[in-house]
Amino acid sequence: MTGTPQRKYRSDYQASIYLIDRVSLDFDIRDGSTRVTARHSVRRNPQLIGTGGRWWLDGRDLRLVSIAVDDEPVADGALEVSETGLWLNGLPDRFTLTVVTEIDPDRNLSLEGLYRSDDMLCTQCEATGFSRITYFPDRPDVMSRYTTRVEADAERYPVLLSNGNCIESGAAGEGRHYAVYEDPFAKPCYLFALVAGDLGVIRDTFTTTSGREVALALYTEHGNEDQCHHAMASLKDAMAWDEATYGLEYDLDSFVIVAVGSFNMGAMENKSLNIFNTACIFAHQDTATDSDFARVRDVVAHEYFHNYTGNRVTCRDWFQLSLKEGLTVYREHQFAIDHGSPGVTRIEQVRMIRDVQFPEDAGPRAHPVRPESYVEMNNFYTITVYEKGAELIRMMAQMAGREAFTKAVKHYLDKHDGQAVTIEDFVLAIEESTGLDLAQFRHWYAFAGTPRLRVSSRFADGRLSLELAQATPATPGQENKPNFDIPVSVALFDDAGQVVRAPEIVRLIEQRETFVFDGLAAEPTVSVLRGLTAPVRLEFDQPDDALVRLMAHDSDPVSRWDAAQSLYMATLKAAVTAHQNDEPMPALGEGMMTAVAALLADPPDDRALLAEMLTVPSATQIGEAFDAIDVAAVEAARRYVKREIAARFEAELERLADAHAPSGGYVFDQVAAGRRRVFATALDYLACLDTPAIRKRAQAVYDAADNMTDRMAALNALQDLPGEEREATRADFAERFADQPLVMDKWLRLQAATEDGDTAARVRDLLADDRFDFTNPNRVRALVGGFVRGNPLGFHRADRAGYALVADEILRLDAINPQLAAALAGLLAPWRRYAEPYAGGMREALARVGEADLSDNTREIVDAGLG
Ligand code: 0A1
Ligand code: ZN
């Protein structure tokens, strides 16, 4: 906790005055304290000869035992130590620096640096966790070769791991043992990792195209090994995919993953020693749903892909985070598309952008993909840097063509191998290789906010004129926006659904441009921004019949889904307005009914696509369509529309459920998962009718389920149906999975999302329950996050008890895990988007948080929200 937090600016970048070629670390792990002896070979940065002679080393929560230059203790006058690091004065051009520090991983609940997760010790160094291990220039442009020695009690910590190859190991006396690792690749300190524990392991091998045999190992607490096979298979898949797609072969003889229970994020790409949240590794049909399986597959691939995009070529400074994250998410998206239904995978990506990124870009925390300043870097691991960053890469790939773009990425990786570079270096490399002109495109990196793309069409004399216009709203600190370079895909169809103009990409460069399509026999149906070719909000008023045609015939499944979404949305918006005006709910839109009927009569072969198309827009999507979100009206509208669809199509939905009913023999593949999704969707609709039959059916599905996906489908269907069936299935669930924390997270979420009675009180009780552990981020996200996101009426209730609860938890958490506390504060920050009384209540809770003495992390979010 400090007074005024320091803000860092991208424009202030200066290269490090000293560079560290070799780092040698020695960890002496003892009960109550770990002693870290660091020896570095340091030389002056040849580019900066002649500048000042002070050197800053970052360091936090460290006990400095000794510090020496060329083995001579640094004199008091040459050393200035503060809370955040130290200055060294009067240094020679070349020297050996020795720093001895003591740290206490058992008491480190921030989950940064070296910390305890259950019975093991592990590290998390991105973004600046290394400075909690030793005094060091904790910045990614200082790249060094590491040798790491770890010594610990042999019985408690039989497994000792660090980056690179194990070059030596053995007994160290007094029941202790040691291991020495050498990483042949220079890396920034944020990629350093260490693990010590008593762990189970599964092993495999992968042979690269050039014949290198890579030993693969996946470690976890004993007893969980059988939940790790899907992750291991995914790793091998990712390795093969990166060879086949980008020609990138793994570059070391071993690749190790460790799954840990306490982790602030999903996973971390430390060189050759990835550390994962168990939630992104464990996948067994009994305990994980199909979406859990998919997430594990994609996160494993994501971290593996970082080996090139992030590790071999890394970021010069943290403002460049999207250099590695945008590109790696893009690669992960490509991988996912190659491993599932391409259409539905893209739909999920589009939904993420619209439901989460667009709101961030319209709220108090809006920031460019390459931010200009930050207080706490950990607050910038955002959906904007990751997912919008990936969309920017995707736009370039679309403009260049996939093959040319792949070649350009390889050019970038060759050109900058072993370097710490900037987004500008990346864009330049892409221009060099593809010949694209990306001058105006660069604005996407520099300016926040979601451009609005207004489309209007005119047809006369066989000629279609399509007018595109762009405008981007102001965001905090950026009043005026330039024109973006917006790739927009366009295709034209006739009334029978035949293509009359194949999809092409036009680029909107000016504020307003008209594109003309000549020689048309009749007015075509226009399909634009197909598959979201750019992260913009489309404003295009299309008549229902055009949308119905697109929904039935568009050659792009994402466009079909999008057309369905627009049809639902029209009715949902009318229902929101009716609720607000105390009017009777409107009859369901004609177009929407025709569309649903057609969908049920002639469903697409891709079952997951059918499920997606049958699903009405999320509450977030509906809220997004209004200037001020009226939570109760949105909920009422969504429930009304779902119930009406269920009532009107009950027989069809029954048949759909029957035709996709669980049949045993679980496998996780596209077809089987698609069928399960259709079943869950049908069950969810039927549950809206709340008949005794559907309750019984849900309970029977639960009882007979041979997998977690079906079990969750049943529990979700019963979610809003209080009664015997719901109580019985939940009680069974809690008992059956009592010893599986990740499954109990699902149970916590269910409890938090259940809205009858006093939810806030129930959540408070659970916070005090033995099954809840405040120090574990997965538990906190399940219960508190599950309450805010999964229970809008409970969270936004009129007496403000929901807001108060969240404010209390932010304050309690901020003292131990600021990163997570700041993430929770982000849930209250966008209060301005809400209608009254919600806005006032959220603001009041946020202001109360703001009165406390806060970490820099939470302070930055709260100030942005109140500012
Ligand atoms: N680089 C990781 C994400 C990550 C970032 C920060 C962390 O701790 C503060 C942990 C993980 C990724 O993109 O997967
Ligand atoms: Zn990443």
Which residues make Cβ contacts (< 8 Å) with residue 375, sequence separation at least 6?
5, 6, 7, 8, 856, 859, 860
Asked whether 124 lines ligand 1 (CB < 6 A), one says yes
Ligand 2 center–CA 589 separation, angstroms? 43
Asked whether 264 lines ligand 1 (CB < 6 A), one says yes
Transcribe 568-635 into DSSP letters: HHHHHHHHHHHHHTTPPPPPPPHHHHHHHHHHHHS--S-HHHHHHHHSPPPHHHHHHTSSSB-HHHHH
The 10s digit of each residue's pLDDT in 839-852 is 999 999 999 999 99
Look at residues 586, 595, 608 and name the one whose alpha carbon lies nearest to residue 566: 595
Ligand 1, atom 2, residue with closest C-alpha: 268
What is the predicted pLDDT for the residue at 23? 98
Q: What is the reported pTM?
A: 0.98
* Coil, strand or helix at 309: strand
Ligand 1 center–CA 124 separation, angstroms? 8
What is the predicted pLDDT for the residue at 2? 45
Q: Which helix (H) or strand (E) holds 727?
A: helix 724-736
Asked whether 612 lines ligand 1 (CB < 6 A), one says no
Band (222; pLDDT cuts 50, 70, 90):
very high
Asked whether 298 lines ligand 1 (CB < 6 A), one says no
Ligand 1, atom 9, residue with closest C-alpha: 126
Pairing of strands 113-117, 176-182: unpaired
The 10s digit of each residue's pLDDT in 442-493 is 999 999 999 999 999 999 999 999 999 999 999 999 999 999 999 999 999 9
Asked whether 269 lines ligand 1 (CB < 6 A), one says yes
192, 275, 381: residue to mutate for ligand 1 pocket, most atoms within 8 A of CB: 381
The 10s digit of each residue's pLDDT in 783-825 is 999 999 999 999 999 999 999 999 999 999 999 999 999 999 9
Ligand 1 center–CA 263 separation, angstroms? 10
What is the predicted pLDDT for the residue at 51? 65
**E strands of 234-282, at which residues?**
254-260, 267-268, 273-277
pLDDT at 595 over 60: yes
In this structure, which ligand is nearest to the CA of 325? 2
* Coil, strand or helix at 191: helix
Sign of CA dihedral 245, 246, 250, 256: negative
What is the predicted pLDDT for the residue at 757? 84
The 10s digit of each residue's pLDDT in 49-74 is 766 679 999 999 999 999 999 999 99
In this structure, which ligand is nearest to the CA of 326? 2
Asked whether 268 lines ligand 1 (CB < 6 A), one says yes
pLDDT at 351 over 60: yes
Ligand 1 center–CA 267 separation, angstroms? 6
Look at residues 441, 429, 419, 597 and name the one whose alpha carbon lies nearest to residue 508: 441
Mean pLDDT score across all residues of the chain: 97
In this structure, which ligand is nearest to the CA of 381? 1
Asked whether 381 lines ligand 1 (CB < 6 A), one says yes
Which of these is catalytic: 269, 303, 725, 809?
303
Mean pLDDT to the nearest integer, 234-248: 98
Provide, rounded to the nearest whole percent, the portion of the chain with pLDDT above 90. Answer: 97
The minimum-distance atom of ligand 1 relative to the CA of 264 is 8
Asked whether 314 lines ligand 1 (CB < 6 A), one says no
Ligand 1, atom 3, residue with closest C-alpha: 268
Asked whether 277 lines ligand 1 (CB < 6 A), one says no
What is the predicted pLDDT for the residue at 386? 99
pLDDT at 428 over 50: yes
Q: How many CB atoms lie within 10 A of CB 12?
A: 10
Mean pLDDT to the nearest integer, 190-201: 98
* Coil, strand or helix at 331: helix
Ligand 1, atom 4, residue with closest C-alpha: 268
Ligand 1, atom 1, residue with closest C-alpha: 268
Q: Which helix (H) or strand (E) holds 856?
A: helix 856-866
Q: Which helix (H) or strand (E) holds 236?
A: helix 229-246
Q: Which helix (H) or strand (E) holds 198?
A: none
**Cis peptide before 127, with omega less than 30 degrees from 0?**
yes
What is the predicted pLDDT for the residue at 116? 98
Active site residue 72: no
Asked whether 378 lines ligand 1 (CB < 6 A), one says yes
Asked whether 376 lines ligand 1 (CB < 6 A), one says no
- Alpha-carbon gap, residue 536 to 539, rounded angstroms: 9
What is the predicted pLDDT for the residue at 1? 45
What is the predicted pLDDT for the residue at 26? 99
The minimum-distance atom of ligand 1 relative to the CA of 299 is 14
Mean pLDDT to the nearest integer, 72-99: 96
The minimum-distance atom of ligand 1 relative to the CA of 381 is 5
Provide, rounded to the nearest whole percent, the portion of the chain with pLDDT above 70. Answer: 99
Ligand 1 center–CA 783 separation, angstroms? 22
CA distances from 390 to 230, 357, 386, 393, 564 (A): 26, 12, 6, 5, 25
The 10s digit of each residue's pLDDT in 143-170 is 999 999 999 999 999 999 999 999 999 9
Ligand 1 center–CA 829 separation, angstroms? 22
Transcribe 683-721 into DSSP letters: HHHHHTT--HHHHHHHHHHHHH-SSHHHHHHHHHHHTT-
Ligand 1, atom 6, residue with closest C-alpha: 126
Structure tokens of 541?
Answer: 């008023």
Ligand 1 center–CA 311 separation, angstroms? 13
The minimum-distance atom of ligand 1 relative to the CA of 329 is 13
What is the predicted pLDDT for the residue at 52? 67
pLDDT at 378 over 70: yes
